[in-house]
Amino acid sequence: MSISPQEPRGEEVRSEAGAVRRMTMSRLVREGWEWIKSILIALVVVLIIRQFLFVPSMVEGHSMDPTLAHGEWLIVNKAIYLLSEPEPGEIAVIRDPEEGESEKYLVKRIVAGPGSKVEIRGGRLYIDGKRTDEKYTDVPIQDVDHGPYQLGSSQYFVMGDNRHLGASKDSRSFGPVDRERIAGRAQWIVWPLDKLGGL
């Protein structure tokens, strides 16, 4: 005696196909939602990094020659000055003191910090009466004498590394910079690749 398999009725076949479609759609919705969550988390992380930690910035102009050239890309560390104070010798990004509350920024070297006395005399920079050896420049300061300036408790004196006459807009023209205007430290050159590295 043989038993022939029972043929599935049409409504059973449709029911199984519908269940498969529902499972597939449910899986696609779950996977889509996972992708959306991942993208949103990545965007939030990028925004936090840009706002509080690191931000790319392009050098415009020649005021930092020969150290930085026009068109080079930097990574600016915004977090470092939340943890420590700016130090002389560091290259900082500052909000332009002549632009009020605008978001225009300048890249300059900090040459003196709070409480220091700064003077430019005979083409040389003097901090607290002592001549500073500036290995990052290629000429003496081609400018008239300035100062002496006595910096306040939260003031910094900044200059461009380009000391050719009229080549840099800096503390010689707009005076000492308040601490609150220093936005971050130029940490790395990332473009062009042949100059890739830390500052």
Residue 17 sits in the same domain as residue 96: no
Check which CATH number belongs to the domain holding 114 and give it: 2.10.109.10
**Consecutive H or E run containing 194:** none
Residue 151 sits in the same domain as residue 70: yes
Residue 189 sits in the same domain as residue 105: yes
Residue 16 sits in the same domain as residue 97: no
Question: How far is C-alpha 79 from the geometric centre of its chain's CA atoms?
Answer: 9
Residue 170 inside a domain? The answer is: yes
Q: How many structural domains is the chain composed of? A: 2
Three-class SS state of 21: helix
Residue 38 sits in the same domain as residue 116: no
Residue 94 sits in the same domain as residue 184: yes
Residue 1 inside a domain? The answer is: no
Residue 194 sits in the same domain as residue 96: yes
Which positions are catalytic? Answer: 63, 108
Are the beta carbons of 104 and 96 closer than 8 angstroms?
Answer: yes
**pLDDT tens for residues 154-168?**
999 999 999 999 999
Confidence tier at 36 by pLDDT (50, 70, 90) = confident
**pLDDT tens for residues 45-73?**
656 555 555 688 889 999 999 999 999 99
Residue 156 inside a domain? The answer is: yes
Nearest-CA neighbor of 75 among 193, 184, 194, 181? Answer: 184
Residue 25 sits in the same domain as residue 68: no
Confidence tier at 182 by pLDDT (50, 70, 90) = very high
Residue 141 sits in the same domain as residue 82: yes
Opening angle at CA 60, ends 105 and 185, nearest 5: 50
At which of 37, 54, 71 does a domain end?
54
At which of 54, 74, 90 does a domain end?
54
| Cα 71 from Cα 172, distance rounded (Å) | 24
Question: How far is C-alpha 58 from the geometric centre of its chain's CA atoms?
Answer: 9
| Cα 110 from Cα 92, distance rounded (Å) | 7
Q: What is the extent of the structural domain holding 86?
A: 59-198
**Which ranges of 49-165 does DSSP label H, i.e. alpha helix?**
80-83
| Cα 16 from Cα 14, distance rounded (Å) | 6
Residue 68 sits in the same domain as residue 27: no
Residue 161 sits in the same domain as residue 131: yes
Nearest-CA neighbor of 97 among 136, 155, 162? Answer: 155
Residue 180 vs residues 23, 40, 69, 122: alpha-carbon distances, Å: 57, 32, 26, 31
Q: Is the pLDDT of residue 82 over 80?
A: yes
Residue 3 inside a domain? The answer is: no
At which of 23, 38, 54 does a domain end?
54
Residue 35 sits in the same domain as residue 109: no
Residue 4 inside a domain? The answer is: no
